[in-house]
A and B are shown apart, each in its own frame.
Chain A
Amino acid sequence: MRAIPRHALNAGWILVLPFVVLVGALFLGPIFNILWLSVSDPTPGLGNYTELFTSDSLGRILWTTLRVCVICTAISVVLGYSIAYAMVHAAEGTRNKMLGLLLVSFWISVLVRTFSWLMLLGRNGVVNSTLETIGIISEPISFMRNELGVLIGMVHYMVPYAVLPILASMQSIDGRVLQASRSLGATGTQTFWRVYLPLSRAGLVAAALLVFIINLGFYVIPAVLGGGKVLMVAEYISVQVLVTLQWGTAAMLAALLLFGVLALLFLMSRFMKLSTVFGGARA
């Protein structure tokens, strides 16, 4: 192929320049503003960051966030893997119906879903009253205002995100490879652990990464289902911005989340090509 002439390249840049300016002004600008705030408010320096090591409450919030995110990611990915596995092995009609249901839950607003859980899981909610009626429990279980409720809500929201990348990687597995494994004497279990799982690993990693990153910034579900008892980073930032007006601390936490996600992506890129994880063209 011929190289693109230099002047043509320049003309192209002029065409996309408005968008570059737009992205710069509306996206990168605010990010740099936040980074700047985190080292300049209330006084210039790294004071906001050293708070991380001195403040008990900050430490507790970060620990809660991390714990909830890890547990939620683990559960979502395992559920997502099972659902994707069932979908791949279902007949085509059934698979399309399952995909439809999955996408419907994608389109329902997180707010609507969270309030639905509120109805279901409350002290007098459907779940508790049903369990009481059939006599399994005598006292209502407290599903809300604790981590259990937050986890139920978050897992429910995240499962479709986990299913899709896993489904894509499972669909690309050549069925003959699995037949080959059986013809070579491997049992179903051996075939799964030694062939199927490794071949769907890229989807699994992508799903875990996606779910974990989205989890880190979760606001609505912990706020509503946690009822202020399960304080996670996003909600804490909102409190700092809107209530206590400590913008420096808020900016520092926001920057921390940003760097956390970037570090995660970097770490992952050292083990595998990110383009394969996110379904890009295979080299």
Chain B
Amino acid sequence: MAGIGNSGSLHLKSLVKRYGGFTAVDNVNLEIERGEFLTLLGPSGSGKTTLLLMMAGFQDITSGDILLDGQSIAAMPAEKRNFGMVFQGYALFPHMTVRDNIAYPLSVRKRPKAEIGAKVDEMLDLVHLTDFGHRFPKELSGGQQQRVALARALCFAPPVLLLDEPLGALDKKLRIEVQAQLKEIHNRVGTTFVFVTHDQEEALSMSDRIVIMNHGRIEQVGTPSELYQHPRTVFAASFLGKSNFLHRKDAVYALRPEKIDLAAAGTGQGANTVSGVVQSVTYFGAMLKYQVQVPELGEIEVDVDAWRGGTPVAEGTTVDLTWANTAAVRLEIEPK
């Protein structure tokens, strides 16, 4: 992998974490490749943070193993693993300046002063905070604090960077900006990033691969487009994006709202055509969201491009819904 940083591969083998009778992480197997941006996505309580803390060394393992570049690190304490970590709420040292925060991992390793100074300058430049070195964390905005946390976690060239919902505290607009910066930094350093989030848009826009987690298990692993276009389970289809679920005989199909076309009654032409009554229309600027009651399918959500879709159809109108055969994805019935 190209990049100014270090990078390593992680192999999680049959990882289990139990608290008493509760299984937080249930037999997780995962290969994280050198230099990739991997996102653990799931609702709260899905085990994604526990899994990250096990990689970091802050949670001990009930059973299973973790390999870094083929070497087991399961028994290694957190401070020996050399992983960078960005915490929820950043966990900056409030009594140190930005420079001292970033220099911390190098100074506890007793590196020479000149080397530390040069490295801190480089990191400040990487996160665009060159003029903020002498400020204290509380004098910075949330986004700036987040960048300091990132610089601090990267400055000792860790093979793996673990990020625990690092953007959770930022407002939506800032979050999108920081997502782009984070992605850019990942490209520049080339370090393996393991990113935990419950925000599906964040996962889709940043990741090389996404791991969808639910109830301590991996539901599905894949690139963002693989997961979006070909979800395998009901959970994957509903957690990542929205889906209509069509029950046909003993199979379930997922159909994305934007893959359905809406036409005037009797004019619908497609492999699949059904007729229904518009229950509600909601305007979202770029698109219109219709809820359409279809007798044989129930309520179906349809997204229509607001600009190309023409005049909105009024509530109570009967319409035709059509979609291509490839639009509906057959799901695996979840083992119960």
Contact = CB atoms under 8 A, between A and B. Distances in A.
A276 interface: no
Given A184-B104, A184-B152, A185-B109, A179 B58 contact: yes
Interface in A133-179: 174, 176-177, 179
Contacts of B91: 174, 176-177, 179-180
Given A183-B56, A185-B108, A194-B108, A199 B85 contact: no
A190 interface: yes
Interface stretch (B6-14, B76-84, B177-185): B76-84
A186 to B, nearest CB: 4
Q: Which 3 A-B pairs have the closest CB atoms?
A: A184-B105, A180-B91, A176-B91
Given A179-B78, A184-B153, A185-B105, 14 more contacts: A174-B89, A174-B91, A177-B92, A180-B91, A180-B93, A181-B108, A182-B77, A184-B108, A184-B152, A186-B79, A187-B108, A195-B93, A198-B95, A199-B95
B78 A183 contact: yes
A198 B83 CA distance: 25
Contacts of A183: 56-58, 78-79, 81, 83-85, 153, 162
A182 to B, nearest CB: 5
B70 interface: no
Interface residues on B, range: 20 to 34
Contacts of B153: 183-184
Contacts of A176: 87-89, 91
A185 B87 contact: no
Interface in B12-26: none
Contacts of A177: 91-94
Contacts of A182: 58, 77-79
B94 to A, nearest CB: 7
Interface in B41-78: 56-58, 77-78
A185 B95 contact: no
B193 interface: no
B95 to A, nearest CB: 5
Nearest to A198: B95
B281 to A, nearest CB: 45
A182 B77 CA distance: 9
6 contacts: A174-B89, A176-B87, A179-B58, A183-B83, A184-B156, A195-B93
Interface in A235-282: none
Nearest to A188: B79
Contacts, number: 67
Interface string B309-333: 0000000000000000000000000
Interface residues on A, range: 10 to 19
B85 A180 contact: yes
Interface string A32-47: 0000000000000000
Interface in B106-154: 108-109, 152-153
B138 to A, nearest CB: 10
Contacts of A181: 93, 104, 108
A190 B156 CA distance: 17
A202 to B, nearest CB: 10
A69 to B, nearest CB: 29
Interface string A183-209: 111110010001100110000000000
A199 B94 CA distance: 8
B85 A185 contact: no
B85 to A, nearest CB: 4
Nearest to B152: A184
B79 A187 contact: yes
Contacts of B77: 182
A186 B156 CA distance: 12
Contacts of A194: 104, 108
A186 B107 CA distance: 9
Contacts of B89: 174, 176
B231 to A, nearest CB: 34
Nearest to A186: B108
A176 B156 CA distance: 19
A176 B81 CA distance: 17
A180 B108 contact: no
A199 B82 CA distance: 24
A199 B137 CA distance: 14
A177 to B, nearest CB: 5
A184 to B, nearest CB: 4
Nearest to A190: B108
B191 to A, nearest CB: 14
A94 to B, nearest CB: 20
B17 to A, nearest CB: 17
Interface in A83-133: none
A145 B120 CA distance: 60
Nearest to B105: A184
Contacts of B81: 183
Nearest to B104: A184
Given A185-B109, A185-B156, A199-B94, A179 B87 contact: yes
A176 B105 CA distance: 16
Contacts of B95: 198-199
Nearest to A183: B85
A183 to B, nearest CB: 4
Contacts of A190: 108
Contacts of A199: 94-95
B158 to A, nearest CB: 9
Contact of B104 (A174, A186, A187, A198): A186
A176 B79 CA distance: 14
